[in-house]
Structure 1
Amino acid sequence: MEKTAIFHRSTDNYVYLLDDQTLQIRIKTKHNDVNAVSLILGDPYIWSNGQWQYSKMPMNLVGNDGLYDYWETEAFVATNRLRYGFKLSSSTEEVIYTEKGFYDSIPVDSDYYFCFPYLHENEQFQAPKWVKDTVWYQIFPERFGNGDPTINPENTKNWGSEPPAVNNFFGGDFAGVTAHLDHLTDIGVNGIYFTPVFKAHSNHKYDTIDYMELDPQFGDAAALKELITQCHKRGIKVMLDAVFNHSGYYFPPFQDVLKNGENSPYKDWFHIHNFPVVGGDKPNYEAFGFVESMPKLNTANPEVKKYLLDVGAYWIEEFDIDGWRLDVANEVDQPFWREFRKIVKKAKPDVYILGEIWHDSMPWLRGDQFDAVMNYPFKTNVLNLLANNSINSQQFVENMSKVYYSYPKTVFDYTFNLVGSHDTPRILTECGDNINKTKQVFTILLTFMGTPCIYYGDEIGLTGGQDPGCRKCMDWNEENHELELKNHIRILNTLRKEEKLLANEGFVTFLHPTEPNGIFGYKKYNSNKTILVLLNPNSSNQKFSLEKSENYNILYSSNIVIEDNQVNMEPDGFGIIEYNV
């Protein structure tokens, strides 16, 4: 047995509250090295005849990432306290694993074991329940719809009259979104994520001038309130984008520093290395990257902190928004985010706090900062498999298993999944204009664990390359829509709404292919029902063996056939299949 590969820690993704008396406990071992794992558990204060009293329960092998196997079980803890360890068995040996190391026999002293001191209900990860049933739609406001030409900025181009560029404007606004809310309802969307809407110099608005003022090209406060009111009437949540890592070049405090240097009362609002302030390719102040027009804010400064925390509460209290997406969240100090959470949750307890973090995000997801992060590893792996052909289906399952088991289930249920955005090429373009591949991408997006987000226009087949090519004006001429793709998304969203196993209820197990690029997928299940999501990434017909059952029901597929408990699937096909346990 490879003991150096065995790992557990009594926190984060390895042990966490499922409810007020149930813990989910995980351990990982070398792939194909351990045959069975049992959990040894008991209350640390229950002893008899000088020995700690414990019980044992089997753990389930729930997945592997090619290097490690992941084992899991749910432990009911009647006394709210727990000490626990593991009994691991291979073909050649049996060991006991505790916090203090490995033993040949079960230690009789509870002090040797891993400790979960007390199950406090308020330590359970709490994110807004509504998020699990939400399908998001990202809108780049400047390019969605021009509903009020009277507020067009200077030199506005006719809608869609030329390719998107870094410096052109087409007049998209709040009224344009309000006018097209029926489109969102039609395809099954019930959440909107807006890129920044505050006063800014650029067309993307990530260079904020005033965090308390809407950009006049989008409309006034009345227009935004009307939009949010109409959204809420349709059951659509609204999330705004907060750029608290950096301001824009024309942010008045930064302009004051440029003008007055060391005499500016705002000099400590930023990270200025020396004076006078100099921009260019390598400015003498901290910025987003080295972009001189985006000076980094000093969020540890009390005045900056108060200003931004007031911003966080203001748009909730005055406009009833439902969420904040936090740009470049990992570069802002964590003490700031802890205060931010307290402030915005006081304003609206079920507000959704979403951080933009591209890497391991566990430090921000312990219940005191964010409700979720944007799941970029999901996007990377889906596109590498189905668009770039740089990994095969076995590697996809292994990669996503590693991502999934890096977080508690209670956290992953709320993670924000995306396959395209204002920063990436259009998904149909990524897939080489292959509709079937694109349909596979959306099949995964809209049935995977987490809360999915569709980038505006992807549902109708908008094309475009890297930014700014991915920021085309929305095409409202239905004759130009890829209706097959739009209907596919509509059907998937309907299924997700009707069948809660496709919206984060129950549990999940990944289904590994039987050959490197064979049919793969995942099983979502509870005590009554199982749903399989299967995909064939290959260019030839393939088969996949099912568990023996006579109660299969194909919920939706690309004309798959089931015979003798085998799924026969055409190239680039998919199937969503249910059966009762």
Structure 2
Amino acid sequence: MPVTVFRDGGVYFIRFSVSRRPRRAAFVVGNFTAFMKPIELEFCGSDYCAYVLLPPGKYYYRYLIDGEVILDDGSTENGFNVLKLSGFVRKVREVRRRLFSAIYGIFVDRFGCKREGGPRDRLGGDLVFIRDRLSYIRSMGFDAIYLTPIFRAMSYHRYDVIDYLNIDDDLGGNKAFKELLRSAHDLGIKLILDLPIHHTGSEHPAFKAALNGDPEYSRWYYIYDGDYEKFMNVKRMPKLNMKFAGEWVKGIVLHWSLIGVDAFRIDVGAGIPPWFLWELKNFINKPLIAEVWGDPFLWRNAVDGVMNYQVWEPLIKFLDNKISTDELAYVLKRQLRLLPRYFLLNSWLFADTHDTPRAITMLNNDIEKFKAALVFIYTWIGTPMLYYGDEVMLEGGLDPDNRRCMDWKRINDPNSLGNFIAKLTSLTIAPKRIVINSNELIYYDDEYEVHLSNEPRSYRDGLLSGSYFIIRSR
């Protein structure tokens, strides 16, 4: 019953485990739990485990399996095993500021296409190509990149994972990932991994074992009456049950965290219980951003931020003259009242994503309106996330058309927005108040004010201006 200890910075990640299968329940109990029983060991594939984050110190622990006290080999005191973690006690990370200045989102298979094919084929984008374009990404002011899933998976988008501990060979494998990570860090770029933990792929060994009747793996999924719960009724994406698979998931996240991943984006975050995401955030001690369509209120304390789809939709509709200024302002004011400031600061603002049509397409190829959308995501309260290709106004409709190959021939086009984006990145605005003036939204802080309109205006001068926006000094 080994205890596995991992150290990262000033804290330790402890994996408690037993090989004996409990009939009812197994717990790890110690002074870190006030000698109560809140930490239950769950089936982790080869044993029963629980992951715990602990600072340096001296700890006492033992296991209770179906009520029976079980000890590890090694030193004991007063009926408990002893675990000594050396080092100085450091302050634990608290999120009270914006973690990233600006994020560049990459749909990995389509960033550097190497072959022809259909919209759902693998077209050859890989991690080596991304590594070779890091200086380009940094030149626009981005200090983080977000990668769609890169694990071994069934499809081109890789949201149907079959192996969470290895990078897909088509992308260059584990070696290419470590080289990308090292090169990114050398340039001051942090790396955010996409985690599809709401579901696995149907070819994942755990799900295949569950379908074959394995009683432990069966509890990782929701299988009943010859069918099972899935993501959006897609058969190749069976939903995980975090009550029983949660410790296994923690081990996956810990694996990549120790390799050096800086943060994680949780796919289908709204489909995962907030209590589990809260546990995961407090365990891993690195930023978690959840994909949440709609109201993020329930997740305000569970994660560091969300992909702010609640703001994205009214922003695009406002610029497309489909809703009024009042309707957009209502959403913004509601979030200001209900959500913690640091949560809003670390929630991602965007014009489009791999799950939406491209903004330039939604705005009928109106470049000035598209620039206004970019101004908003860089100046409102949040963290701007630019989807690859936005800088060259790559077009695209609904999935999978919104995942076209990056058009590298257009990056030097006079109309490309790389320089415009770099200028936006250099601004730091912390809006304090919203004012509505007919079809114009105005917000400002002590230094700057931003005007956003859905009707063309004669905006001139300012730090940046266009037909639908202006940024001025106050």
Fold-level similarity (TM above 0.5): yes
The range that moved more, 459-468 or 262-271, is 262-271
- Residue 509 of structure 1 corresponds to 433
Superposition deviation, residue 136 in structure 1: 0.6
- Is 1:297 equivalent to 2:251 in the alignment? no
Kindly provide the amino acid, as one letter, of the partner of residue 132 in structure 2.
A
Superposition deviation, residue 128 in structure 1: 6.5
Asked if structure 2 preserves the Cα contact closer than 8 Å seen for 1:135 and 1:188, the reply is yes
- Residue 454 of structure 2 corresponds to 537
Structure 1 residue runs without a partner (length 5+): 1-123, 147-156, 278-283, 346-350, 544-552, 559-571
What is the rounded CA distance, in whole Å, between the counterparts of 1:457 and 1:482 in structure 2?
A: 15
Superposition deviation, residue 364 in structure 1: 2.1
What is the rounded CA distance, in whole Å, between the counterparts of 1:314 and 1:370 in structure 2?
A: 19
Identity of paired residues, percent?
30
Mapping of 1:348-363 within 5 angstroms? 351-363=286-298
Superposition deviation, residue 337 in structure 1: 2.0
Equivalent residue for 2:108, pick from 141, 150, 175: 141
3-state secondary structure, aligned to 1:404: helix
Q: Describe the shift of the 1:452–1:314 C-alpha distance in structure 2 as closer, same or farther (beyond 3 A).
A: same
- Residue 566 of structure 1 corresponds to none
Superposition deviation, residue 297 in structure 1: 0.9
- CA RMSD in angstroms, aligned pairs only: 2.2
Asked if structure 2 preserves the Cα contact closer than 8 Å seen for 1:381 and 1:400, the reply is no
What is the rounded CA distance, in whole Å, between the counterparts of 2:296 and 2:193 in structure 1?
A: 21
- Residue 336 of structure 1 corresponds to 276
- Is 1:322 equivalent to 2:262 in the alignment? yes
- Residue 270 of structure 1 corresponds to 221
- Residue 299 of structure 2 corresponds to 364
What is the rounded CA distance, in whole Å, between the counterparts of 1:413 and 1:245 in structure 2?
A: 25
What is the rounded CA distance, in whole Å, between the counterparts of 2:424 and 2:214 in structure 1?
A: 59
Superposition deviation, residue 333 in structure 1: 2.5
- Residue 189 of structure 1 corresponds to 142
Asked if structure 1 preserves the Cα contact closer than 8 Å seen for 2:318 and 2:324, the reply is yes
Superposition deviation, residue 360 in structure 1: 2.6
Asked if structure 1 preserves the Cα contact closer than 8 Å seen for 2:147 and 2:192, the reply is yes
Mapping of 1:11-410 within 5 angstroms? 126-127=94-95, 129=97, 131=99, 133-145=100-112, 158=115, 161=116, 165-166=119-120, 168-258=121-211, 260=212, 262-263=213-214, 265-274=216-225, 277=226, 284-301=227-244, 304-318=245-259, 320-345=260-285, 351-366=286-301, 369-387=302-320, 389-410=321-342
Kindly provide the amino acid, as one letter, of the partner of residue 234 in structure 1.
L
- Is 1:454 equivalent to 2:454 in the alignment? no
Kindly provide the amino acid, as one letter, of the partner of residue 318 in structure 2.
L
Kindly provide the amino acid, as one letter, of the partner of residue 348 in structure 2.
F
Equivalent residue for 1:523, pick from 444, 449, 468: 444
What is the rounded CA distance, in whole Å, between the counterparts of 1:363 and 1:126 in structure 2?
A: 20
Structure 2 residue runs without a partner (length 5+): 1-91
What is the rounded CA distance, in whole Å, between the counterparts of 2:104 and 2:205 in structure 1?
A: 32
- Is 1:576 equivalent to 2:455 in the alignment? no
- State the Cα deviation string for residues 523-560 of structure 1 (Å, max 9, x = none): 122xxxx31011232145589xxxxxxxxx932223xx
What is the rounded CA distance, in whole Å, between the counterparts of 2:380 and 2:243 in structure 1?
A: 38
Asked if structure 1 preserves the Cα contact closer than 8 Å seen for 2:103 and 2:385, the reply is yes
Kindly provide the amino acid, as one letter, of the partner of residue 293 in structure 1.
R
- State the Cα deviation string for residues 444-492 of structure 1 (Å, max 9, x = none): 1111111010000011111111111111111111477463433222221
- State the Cα deviation string for residues 495-525 of structure 1 (Å, max 9, x = none): x2xxx3x2x4xx5101211x2x2x3221122
What is the rounded CA distance, in whole Å, between the counterparts of 2:266 and 2:445 in structure 1?
A: 30
Equivalent residue for 2:465, pick from 557, 572, 578: 557
Asked if structure 2 preserves the Cα contact closer than 8 Å seen for 1:435 and 1:485, the reply is no
Kindly provide the amino acid, as one letter, of the partner of residue 337 in structure 1.
L
What is the rounded CA distance, in whole Å, between the counterparts of 2:340 and 2:108 in structure 1?
A: 34
- State the Cα deviation string for residues 225-259 of structure 1 (Å, max 9, x = none): 1111111111111100111111101101112233x
Kindly provide the amino acid, as one letter, of the partner of residue 354 in structure 2.
H
What is the rounded CA distance, in whole Å, between the counterparts of 2:351 and 2:323 in structure 1?
A: 16
Superposition deviation, residue 443 in structure 1: 0.8
Q: Describe the shift of the 1:469–1:480 C-alpha distance in structure 2 as closer, same or farther (beyond 3 A).
A: farther
Kindly provide the amino acid, as one letter, of the partner of residue 578 in structure 1.
S
3-state secondary structure, aligned to 1:512: strand
What is the rounded CA distance, in whole Å, between the counterparts of 2:246 and 2:455 in structure 1?
A: 52
Asked if structure 2 preserves the Cα contact closer than 8 Å seen for 1:192 and 1:239, the reply is yes
Asked if structure 1 preserves the Cα contact closer than 8 Å seen for 2:151 and 2:165, the reply is yes
- Is 1:488 equivalent to 2:429 in the alignment? no
- Residue 112 of structure 1 corresponds to none
- State the Cα deviation string for residues 309-330 of structure 1 (Å, max 9, x = none): 1001110102x11101111122
Asked if structure 2 preserves the Cα contact closer than 8 Å seen for 1:377 and 1:403, the reply is no
Kindly provide the amino acid, as one letter, of the partner of residue 135 in structure 1.
A
- State the Cα deviation string for residues 386-422 of structure 1 (Å, max 9, x = none): 13x2112233223322233221223212211122111
What is the rounded CA distance, in whole Å, between the counterparts of 1:128 and 1:197 in structure 2?
A: 30
What is the rounded CA distance, in whole Å, between the counterparts of 2:327 and 2:98 in structure 1?
A: 33
What is the rounded CA distance, in whole Å, between the counterparts of 2:369 and 2:390 in structure 1?
A: 13
Superposition deviation, residue 343 in structure 1: 2.2
Kindly provide the amino acid, as one letter, of the partner of residue 316 in structure 1.
S
* TM-score between both structures, scaled by the size of structure 2: 0.76
- Residue 32 of structure 1 corresponds to none
What is the rounded CA distance, in whole Å, between the counterparts of 2:237 and 2:334 in structure 1?
A: 35
Kindly provide the amino acid, as one letter, of the partner of residue 305 in structure 2.
A
Q: Describe the shift of the 1:228–1:541 C-alpha distance in structure 2 as closer, same or farther (beyond 3 A).
A: same
* TM-score between both structures, scaled by the size of structure 1: 0.63
Asked if structure 2 preserves the Cα contact closer than 8 Å seen for 1:165 and 1:469, the reply is yes
Q: Describe the shift of the 1:509–1:381 C-alpha distance in structure 2 as closer, same or farther (beyond 3 A).
A: same
Kindly provide the amino acid, as one letter, of the partner of residue 165 in structure 1.
P
Asked if structure 2 preserves the Cα contact closer than 8 Å seen for 1:461 and 1:482, the reply is no
What is the rounded CA distance, in whole Å, between the counterparts of 2:153 and 2:330 in structure 1?
A: 43
What is the rounded CA distance, in whole Å, between the counterparts of 1:202 and 1:440 in structure 2?
A: 35
